[in-house]
Structure 1
């Protein structure tokens, strides 16, 4: 039953037309890569032999199996072969390696964390906005392949849906006791920018979590590992993802406690080294791209004049007679922040031609509404 619900959740999180490339890079491609790594490591740990230990000759097969199971469950510690063996227990404990047992679970958790902003975007968008950005964008994308008549009808339908949604957003009020508050006219825009911030914050947090999980405070840990590999400084010298470690365990025999120290091979660290080095650089790349995308949307959404510049670009592509004051009212009073946001989404996914046709249809609807208001005002004055 749990697997059924998980499958249903992830099926609903497949890429949609209202997600840009950076969104998909975070919740779709990055999560898929991490889940693939988690499966690879799990197969090696639970199907193969993740650890093998060099045991004394008097150990039977059962004793050898017990030793390897114990050393896998408990933490081993790294000690260079040229170093003196530490006599103090505290010195050995300080050298312990405690991450390798948890790699599949941590990778799965990290993959799930990349889905959180996507879940919030889709959940909060339908909860309070009243604008179905995904459906409008999908209709616009489908209209590209239609004939002229069907295309024109679809454009009018999209324009009607947008006009109704924006009108409801402006006029519908939320009543709570004696408090009456208008629904936010920029809710969708603010939500999308907030989700962009969550994507960036998540991947930055993942970098710090990765360093903490590997037991280092060095922010540029990945660069140092790569530099060591390029300079031929292997794990025997650097101690990064050691393949050979030591393990201490005690066995009670006839009331006497026998101490043993064995040398073990962590074959799983051959995979861990490559996986975490790749993820470390991948996270930095995703963080950079997410930061650029976030600042881009902040600028085009809230910098003064950007909305006017965007709409006028499409109106100028037509032969419509437009003056600046009319366009200003059309952008700020009719479309608003969320209307321009929807048009940006449609332009990015359905193309400039369809965006131009839709803006022209909305422009005509706006002018019809203005003429109707003026006519009603004139009639009222005459009476």
Structure 2
């Protein structure tokens, strides 16, 4: 069975350069891994048997009946859900059908593996967009300064080149942070949209699925009806029509077992709790991003919390002359650079900025005197 998931190793690979945050990674790593694994799992017939097995007493070939019921969907009777199993009905939702009675058709099980894989693609889209827009900028700017052991001349050369880039490109990273913020918004929109997508896919049952399961666990055994069995029934009905020996249309009733629904119900109860949690975490991250954008003082606190060994004065000098895009680039560099190298970078960058301002003031004064 482990051979089935061998291809998922690439998803779990840890990136050498960090260009996002932990919540972002939960979207495109953990969630994508889970969805792809679930999609593969529900197609493993050798581990869970046939997706449908039908029981009938007529001479209809078994494979013909099962193929027909799989293609044309099966159904349950909502009026039979609350009847006593073993006394009034043989199984939950299974009863004798009378003309005009409401049927609930179950067709989702044909598409579960495809929908799960499509969801995985949607969760990876923001990551793909951000990698495309980011273009390897942070990786190219590291210049070996992410290594703890580095020759002094290599360290000085890398630091000098990086400071030169930061100084010459001040105020030029606004689009950089804008693209990242758009991807964070897409993460939140995507996870909320996924909840509504699954709710539509399961006939409006997913939005309250988790709360009903929690409520179910708190009820007495003799008075409770499992909501997971109602959404993912193990036993359903199927009606097959054919011509009889006299040419009349005959109706054949069959009971169909859906063994994969035992797995499907576990998958979707996990996804309900996970998507709700992920949506809350994504909303918190987006609120944090808005705080960073509209309260400049928070940028100093955020960067200071990640780089305790950096001198406060040097950090204040740099951030007082940098805008939001410059702060964001420094924040990513702080995540990737060796802490001591980042401290020295900020120290030298602050000195460079102050020296540049003094030189500019001197030129302005000379021009004024000459005038």
Q: How does 1:44-123 map to 2 (within 5 A)?
A: 44=45, 48-56=49-57, 58-59=58-59, 63-79=61-77, 80=80, 82=88, 84-88=95-99, 91-92=102-103, 95-123=104-132
More displaced 10-residue stretch of structure 1: 249-258 or 102-111: 249-258
Residue 375 of structure 1 corresponds to 362
TM-score for the superposition, normalised by structure 1: 0.78
Q: CA deviation at 1:124?
A: 3.1
Q: Equivalences for 1:185-264 in 2 at 5 Å?
A: 186-216=174-204, 219-229=207-217, 231=219, 232=221, 233=224, 235=226, 239-253=230-244, 255-264=247-256
Q: Specify the SS of the correspondent of 1:299.
A: helix
Matches of 2:120 and 2:59 in 1, distance apart? Answer: 42
Write the deviation string for residues 63-85 of structure 1: whole angstroms up to 9, x where unpaired.
11100011111111124463552
What 5-or-longer segments of structure 2 have no aligned partner?
1-6, 90-94
* Matched residue count: 342
Instruction: Please state if 1:344 is matched with 2:331.
Output: yes
Cα distance between partner residues in 2 of 1:348 and 1:87: 67
- Could you tell me how far 1:87 is from its partner in structure 2? 1.9
Deviation per CA, 1:345-369: give whole Å up to 9, x if none: 2223436433322211221221232
Q: Say if 2:52 and 2:257, in contact at 8 Å, map to a contact too.
A: yes
The correspondence for 1:155, drawn from 148, 152, 159, is 159
Shift of 1:47: 8.6
Contact 2:315 2:346 in 1 (8 A): no
Rounded to whole Å, the distance in 1 between the matches of 2:312 and 2:255 is 81
List per-residue Cα deviations over 1:86-115 (Å, max 9, x = no partner): 3236622xx111211110010001111101
Q: CA deviation at 1:230?
A: 6.1
Match of 2:277 in 1: 285
Shift of 1:273: 0.6
| Whole-angstrom distance in 1 between the partners of 2:145 and 2:286 | 24
Which sections of structure 1, spanning at least 5 residues, go unmatched? 1-6, 170-184
SS at match of 1:115: helix
Contact kept, 8 Å, 1:193 with 1:298, in 2: the verdict is no
Distance in 1 between residues matched to 2:227 and 2:178, nearest whole Å? 51
Whole-angstrom distance in 2 between the partners of 1:25 and 1:378: 55
**2: CA distance between counterparts of 1:141 and 1:230?**
56
RMSD of the TM alignment (CA)?
A: 3.3
Moved more, 65-74 or 335-344: 335-344
| Closer/same/farther in 2, CA of residues 242 and 37 from structure 1, 3 Å limit | same
Distance in 2, matches of 1:205 and 1:20, equals 22
